[in-house]
Amino acid sequence: MPLDTLSDISDDILLARFAKGDRVAARALTLRLTPRVLAHAVRMLGNHAEAEDVSQEAMLRLWKAAPDWRSGEAKVSTWLYRVVSNLCIDRLRKAQPDGLDTIPEPEDPRDGPADVLQRHTRARALQSALGRLPFRQRQAVVLRDLQGLANPEVAEIMETSVEAVESLLTRGRKALSADLAGRRAELGFEDG
């Protein structure tokens, strides 16, 4: 069954159907949630292969939580982002205290359309700079500025207050700006 036939059904309801053995619900949730989980994990870890492992683990935890899920108590996506964030932070702490070596450096510009190349280089530079941020600042910036979540939801995921999230965002963005500004010449950018 194509995904769009279930697109108007909430994650909660699909999860309840999953717990009753509905294979279509399992497929719809996989297609709907895995890309979001992976995108978040890649931005947190800077490593695609590790991010895939974390994504699989997070989704497995969701499947196991399905029978006891209480509809209306928590958003499925919020719960999932929290699981992914915690798994990523655990990995980062185990790998390197600051996670520096897990983040690839920006690539040198190569042949190709200038705007695509510039976008690609910026994305790589930002990923690299994110890797130099403290975990909590990185988590807040990724969830708010890259995943596009609202501050209250970011606060819920990070299990902290909205004010604390705003503070983390301010510091994280300031650190990113300083880091990237220092690399603009290195990256060959004339505009912002």
Within 10 Å of residue 81's Cβ, how many Cβ atoms?
Answer: 25
6, 14, 44, 51: which one binds other proteins (CB under 8 A): 51
Give the separation between CA 168 and CA 29, rounded to whole angstroms. Answer: 31
**Can you read off the two tokens belonging to residue 91?**
């990995």
Give the separation between CA 120 and CA 34, rounded to whole angstroms. Answer: 23
Q: Which helix (H) or strand (E) holds 78?
A: helix 76-95
- Binding to other proteins in span 147-166, by CB under 8 A: 148, 166
Q: Which is nearer to other proteins, 12 or 52 (CB)?
A: 52
Helical axes 11-19 vs 76-95, angle rounded to 10°: 80
Question: Is residue 2 involved in binding other proteins (CB under 8 A)?
Answer: no
Closest separation in Å from C-beta 63 to other proteins: 4
Contact residues for other proteins, defined by CB under 8 A: 18-19, 21, 23, 26-27, 29-31, 34-35, 38-39, 42-43, 48, 51-52, 55-56, 59-60, 63-64, 66-67, 118-120, 122-123, 125-127, 145-146, 148, 166, 169-170, 173-174, 176-177, 180-181, 184, 191-192
